[in-house]
Structure 1
Amino acid sequence: MKSVAIVLSAGVGRRMGADIPKQYLMLGDYPVIYYCLNAFEQSPVDEVILVCAESDIDYCRTQIINKYQFQKVKAIVSGGAERYDSVYRGLQEVSEDTDYVLIHDGARPMLTVDLIRRLLTQVEKEKACVPAVPATDTIKVSDEQGYAVDTPDRKTLWMVQTPQVFSCDIVKTAYEQIYQKPSPIPITDDAMVVETYTNNRVKLVMGDYSNRKITTPEDLAIANYLLKIQ
């Protein structure tokens, strides 16, 4: 079974407040993006497609891929205006003989080979699965004025992570539909695309609380701490 990972690294990261995109900030001895690429390099995944800003392609090639000798990165492509545009462009590089596609945020550096293996095992049974962890806080639903109007049962709430993994034909078909029938609500993750445009259900697989997305300076500090204790 051939599997290909699409790593998204085209985000600007305005909430980080840094001069460079968050995925290229240093985390320990390496850039943030290094860690997930290294996890895929050590995993059963066959190929990696890196999606970044067009202006960052040369930097990624020389300072990330070549410098750290990542052998599985087969293509570097420019991202689009929205996350789903970047995923779509990455999917165009996925060969027809691919069975499964993993889609991962490059700003999640604490990805482990164990999680990748578990997702690949599960996707063979379910065709579509995502890592997630149970919500630990109470969640409120608000109205347009910011008043709480509902409190969902926390036992039913999960915080979704990446990599999200799908059969290649399912995810490609779903993403083709976005441009033919645009969603009336914002698309926030790949599972939502599959849920909206196909009849496939998405299985939640236990993720890892350390598999956090770096969005703010506090997230970077937490990742540094996790890196040290691991």
Structure 2
Amino acid sequence: MAEIGIVIPAAGQGKRMGAEGNKQFLSLKGQPILVHTVRVFQMSDCVSEIVIVGAENDLALIEDLVSRYNLDKVARICQGGVQRQDSVRLGVLALSPTIQRVVVHDGARPLLTLKDFHHFLQAAEGFSAAIMGIPVKDTIKQTNSSGSVTDTLPRERLRAVQTPQIFDRQTLETVHLRAASNGYYGTDDASLLEWMGYPVQVIEGSQENIKVTTPEDLWLAERILTMRET
């Protein structure tokens, strides 16, 4: 298997969480959210190294967490950019030259299990780009600027996209550098490949693989981890 590197963008602030500073340092079952996120990759024999990208003011704290929790697969901690996309680009460029496949995973998505991660890697073999996604439960309607419905989208073909997302390293670098030179910003890394015409495969994810964005998400994450302990 090609050497796999992990890039974890962790520079986001907790505006919707109502927290001061980085939401990824909030406690989840007694440990920072970011530690839960990184640990699954630390445990994986498939992962060669991890790069964490953080805000300038958070770098020292991230270094302390990496040391305190013995996350020795973290090879580098680097400063992020203005937008998440900028941070991912910097993280990818910071990976060792030997890394051939890159997994990007949100720092605030701490409930990915080792089993689901390995299933994702196995299912992604043979694809230059693959992302996790889950079927949407609600009916999705498209509206115009005044709020009037213009279309009802076919729910069976819609997916709510998660991370991890995996890419051939050369392809990911190419699209990130092209987007940066053109001033193009996508909604996630996969959208950059779509913009340049590369195919992206969707692999079914898990309903439990939530992103902790609001206080309600943090409450739910606590409940999910408690359930897993029983």
1:124 Cα deviation (Å)?
Answer: 2.7
Who is 1:88 aligned against? 89
Measured after TM superposition, the shift of residue 23 of structure 1 is: 0.6
2:186 corresponds in structure 1 to 187
- Give the ranges of 4+ consecutive aligned residues of structure 1 lying more than 4 Å apart after TM superposition: none
The aligned residue for residue 9 of structure 1 is 10
Paired residue for 2:195? 196
Whole-Å separation in 2 of the counterparts to 1:181 and 1:18 = 34
Cα drift, residue 156 of structure 1: 0.5
Are 1:123 and 1:167, in contact at CA under 8 Å, matched by a contact in 2? Answer: no
Trace 1:40-55 onto structure 2 (pairs within 5 A).
40-43=41-44, 44-55=46-57
Q: Distance in 1 between matches of 2:36 and 2:126?
A: 28
Matched, 1:164 2:162: no
Output aligned runs, 1:19-98, within 5 Å: 19-43=20-44, 44-62=46-64, 64-98=65-99
TM-score by length of 2: 0.95
Q: What residue identity is the alignment partner of 1:35?
A: H
Instruction: Give 3-state SS (helix, strand or coil) of 2:199's partner.
Output: coil
Q: What one-letter code is carried by the residue in structure 1 that aligns with 2:55?
A: A
- Aligned CA distance change for structure 1 residues 169 and 122 (closer, same or farther; 3 Å): farther
Of the candidates 205, 225, 228, which is equivalent to residue 226 of structure 2?
A: 228
Q: Is the 8 A contact 2:79 2:87 kept in 1?
A: yes
Deviation at 1:99, TM superposition (A): 1.3
139-148 vs 98-107, which moves further: 139-148
Counterpart code for 2:199: R
User: Kindly, what percent of the aligned residue pairs are identical?
Assistant: 35
Count of matched residue pairs: 226
Structure 1 distance, partners of 2:100, 2:124, is 10
Determine the C-alpha separation between the residues in 1 that align with 2:121 and 2:5: 11
Structure 2: stretches of 5+ with no match in the other structure: none
